[in-house]
Structure 1
Amino acid sequence: MKNFKLLIGCLTVMLLSLVITGCEDEMMAEVKVGSISAEAVFQGSPVSLTGEGFDQVQFVFVGNIQASFTLDGNTITFTVPDEAPVGETTITLAMPRNVRATYVFEVVLKPSPVITSFDAYVPVGSDLVIKGSSLNNNTSVTVDGISATVVSAGDSELVVTVPSGVDETSAIEFEITTTYGVAKPTTAFYARESVIPNSDLEAEGDGVPFAGWELLNAGDGAITAITSGYGGSRSMRVVPAAGNPWDRQVASTAVPLNFGDVYTVVLWAKGETAGAQMRVSVSQYDGNGADYFYGETVEMSTNWEQYTWTFTVTNDLPTHRVVLDMGMGAVPFAIDQIGLVPGSIGASGPVELLANSSFETDLTGWTALNGAAEVTSAEAYCGSQSMTATGAGGNPWDVQIASDAMELEVGTDYEIGFWAKAAGPDGVFRLSMSQFASGQSDDFFYSPDLTIPEEWTYFSFVTTAQATSTGNHRLLFDMGASTQTFFVDGVSVKEYEVSSSSEYSNGGFEDGLTGWTALNGAAEASTDAHSGSGSMTATGAGGNPWDTQIASDAVALTVGNQYKISFWAKAAGPDGVFRISMSQYDGNGADFFYSRDLEIPEDWSYFAFVTTAQATASGDHRLLFDMGATTQTFFIDDVSVVEHDACE
C-alpha cells in the first residue's frame, strides 16, 4: 500500500515513484494508492488506480494531455489518450489548492493494424494475402462489405478467402478490424484473377527491372523501377521518347487466352505533370497480323488513377502479350498494378480521398474541433450509421467537424459531395476547406450557407486546392450557426473530372448542338466554354421556365437507379435564374424531377443533383434546361448524367 500525507506548510513526499506536492495551511485527508492495473499500457487502453482519498481528485493527466476519468468507490479509471506520447511518462492526479500526485509509467504504441502490400487481383474463393504489421489481434476482415474467412493471421501476414457476393466488375476495398483499430488499403483491389504474372511489379527479374516483363524499346535508362508505387514498394517509371507509341515499349509474359473471349487490361498510372500519354496493344506486332488490338491513347492525370482497355480475342494465337506503348509525348509517368483479367472492368474514376466517408467505423477519420459530434444508427443514407451534430446558434465555427488531413495537389480541382438532412426546420450550415490558421491563407474555400431540408438531400461543390502552411488539407462542416440537429452521410472528396461515360452524348458541346433540341425558344453553340472549345447558349423569355427549353436526346435510363446530373453554367449578366428537369412533361407524369430555381452567377459555376429514374410512357428520359423565367443569357457546358452510388 502506498500512503501519502500532506502536512501544514510545504512538504514533498515521494514513495515508489508516486509524488504528491502541495502547500496548504491545514491538514488534508490522507491519500492511499494501492496499485495500478498495468505498468505499461497501449495508447487508447484503460488504466485503473486503486486506493483511498480519491474523492479529492479533480483532473487526470497523462503527460500533458487531460484524460476523462470515472471514480467508482476506491478506483479511478481512465483511458490513455491515443495522442499520448510513446515512452516513459507520468500520470498526474490534480487535487484542490494545486496539490498534484504523479506516477511514472510507460505508454506503449497502440498496435493498430497497418497494410503495406497485398495481392491486387484475387478471384472469389481464392486466398488474398495481405502483408503489414499488427494484423493478428482478434482479427476480422470484410471484402466489399462482406465477411471473409480468415485462413491465417500472423503479425506481418494475413490470409483471407475472397467471399462470394462481392462486386467483380470494378475496384473494391477490404477492411481489417482488430482489437486496436481498423485498416483499409489506400489502393484498389479486384476480385478477379490477372492472367499475367507480377502485376504489382514487386518482383525483380534476372537482368531486367521487372520479372515477367520484357523491355522491347526501352532507351537508355528510360524505363526504371522506383519505390513511390501506387501499391506495394515498386512501380515502373517511364520517360517517353516524344515520338511514336512504340518507341517506348514493354511487353508482358506471353499467356494463352480463349479465342473469342473478352478481356480487360487494367492499370494505375500517374503523370509527373500534365500531358503524360500512353496506350496498350495486344498482341505483339510481328508483321504477320499478330497485333489485333490497339487501345485508345489516354492522357493521364497527375494523381494515381485507373485506366482500362477492353478487347475481344479475335486472333486464334497460341499465346498473347499485353504491350504497353509509351513513346508518345515528353512527360514522364509511373505505372503500377497492371492486370489482364477475363471479362470487363469499368473505369473506377478518381480515388476517394476520405477515410470512413460513410461513418461505418464511427468517427474514425473525423474530429470535433468545436462542439461535439457522434454517430447514430437512427438515421443513415449509406450503410447503417451517419454522423450527427447540433448547432450552437452562434458562429458557424462554434460547431466544427473536421476530416483528417488530406494532401491535395495545389491547383487541381476537387469535387466535394455529401448527403445531409436536418431534424427540423430552419437548419443552416456551410462547408469550408482547409482549416483556418491565424495569419495563414489555409482557409481557401467556403460554401454559401446551405439550408438543409428535413429529407436526405445531395450537395456538391468543386474547389481548386490551394497551398496551405502545413501542406495538408481538411474538409470541415461548420454547423454552429443554428440550433438545429443535422445528419451527414456519404461524404466524398475526389479529384474532379468531367465524366467520359455520360448517358447523354455531346455534353461538352464540342459537336455543336448535336444531341440537343430547342423545344421552346432557341439555342446555339458558343465558343465561350468552361472546358474544350464549345458550349451551349440560350436566352430566357422572361415568362414561364419552359418558355425557353432545351432538351437532350431521349435515352432509356434504368428505372429505379440513381443518376447524378452535373453541369457548369454562367450568365452574361446579373439576376439570371433557371432550373433543370427530367423527364419531358407529357401530362402523364413523365416529369419526375425538377430542381430548385438556380441563381446563375456571372462566372462558371458547378451544379450537381441526384435523382432516381422513374418510369415514363415512352420508356425514355430526357434532361431539360428550363431557362425561360428571366431574360438573361446563359451558357452551359460539361453536362454529365451518370449512374450514381454515394455509398461506393
Structure 2
Amino acid sequence: MLNKDLSTKLAKGLLVAGCVVTLAACGGGFGQDYDSPFEEPTPTPEPTPGPEPTPVPAPVDNNILPNSEFEDGSGDDFTGWSKLNSADTITAVTSDTCAGRGMQAVSAGGDPWSVQVSSPEFDTTIGADYTATMWIKSSVADATMRFSTSALNGAQYGGDNVIGTSWQQVVWNFQPNSDAMQLVLDLGASATTYLIDDVKIVPGLEPDPSSCPHTDGGSAGPTNLLSNGGFESGDGDAFTDWTVENGASGVSATAAEVHGGSRALQAVAAGGNEWDVQVTSARADTVVGTTYVASMWVKAAAAGGQVRFSTKTDIDVAQYQGLQTVGTDWTEISFEFAADDVKTSMVLDLGAVAATYYIDDVSLTEKPAE
C-alpha cells in the first residue's frame, strides 16, 4: 500500500500531465493550490500621468465688506460705517457716483486722520493676503489719501495715494494682524472734496474687478447732465455754468449751509412772482420725447418757503413744476418732464415767497427704464 507522501506526489504529477494535454483540466484552482507550469502574464503598465491642467482662477468679485457701495442708510448716514472725525463734512450724494448712492467728504487739509471714516467690522484670517480697493475722485489735482485699519492688535497703515479729478481705483494689499477688523479711510491730508464709492475687500492679492461707473449688466447709475450741479466751481458769488436771470443782488455763495461739498447757493427773495429770483443752468443735451428727472436739495431759513423748477429751451416753450413747500431741513425736490428740445436748461424759480433759501446738489438725469 502506497504511503501518504507518495500518493500525494503521484496525484500532483497526474494533474500536471493532464493540464499539459488539456488546459481545461486546470480550472480556476490550478494557480492557487498547485505550482503552475506556465509563466504569469506581464501586467499592463500604468499610464504615465500628464501635467496637471492650469487651474482657472476663481472670480475675484468676492467682497467681504458689508455695505461697500453705500446704498444702505438714510440721510447722510451709511449703515455700518462710522464717521470718526469731521462728521459734518461727510455726506451722501446721488449724482456723480459709480452707481446709486455714494459718499462725499470735504477736507480743509491737515492730518490724514482729521477727516476719517471707518467701515463695518469684517472677519479675516491673521497673516493671510487681502486687497482693499475703492473708487475715488477729488475736486483738485494731486490730493492724497490713504487706507488704514482699526483692530484689537493695533492699526496698520497704507501708503499715500495721489488722487486726481477723474474716477480712479486705489488698491492696498495687506495682511491682517487680528481676526476681526475695520477698514479706515484717512481723507484729511489735502484741502479738497472727495467723492467715494465701491469700497471693497477681497481675499488674495488681486483687486476687485469693478468699474466706475458700473458696466456690469447695465447697473450704472444715472449720469448728471448738469455741469457744476454742486456749485463748487466759481469765484466769489458767481457759479460756473449758472446764470442769475433775476434778483442777482440776492444770490450769493455760502459755505455755512451746504448739503455736500464746501459751497452752495444762497438766494434771498422778497416775495412776489416765482421768476423774481431766478437762476438758470447751462444747456444740457436732451432727446425730444425722453423723460428726465431734475432734482435739487433745498432748505429755508424759516418754514413756509416755496420754490419750483422750470425749463428753458431754444424753442422758448417752458415747462413748469408746481410750487413746492420748503422747510428748515434739507429736502430733495424732484421734477419729472418729457424733453421738447435737443437742448434744455433747468431754471430755479425762487421768488414766490419772502425767504432765504439754500440750494445744493442740483441734477438732471434721464429717467431709468421701468
Q: Which category of TM-score, normalised to the shorter sequence, fits these structures?
A: 0.3 to 0.5
Higher relative contact order (CA 8 A, sep 6+): 2
TM-score (norm 1): 0.28
TM-score by length of 2: 0.46
Give the helix-richer structure, 1 or 2.
Answer: 2
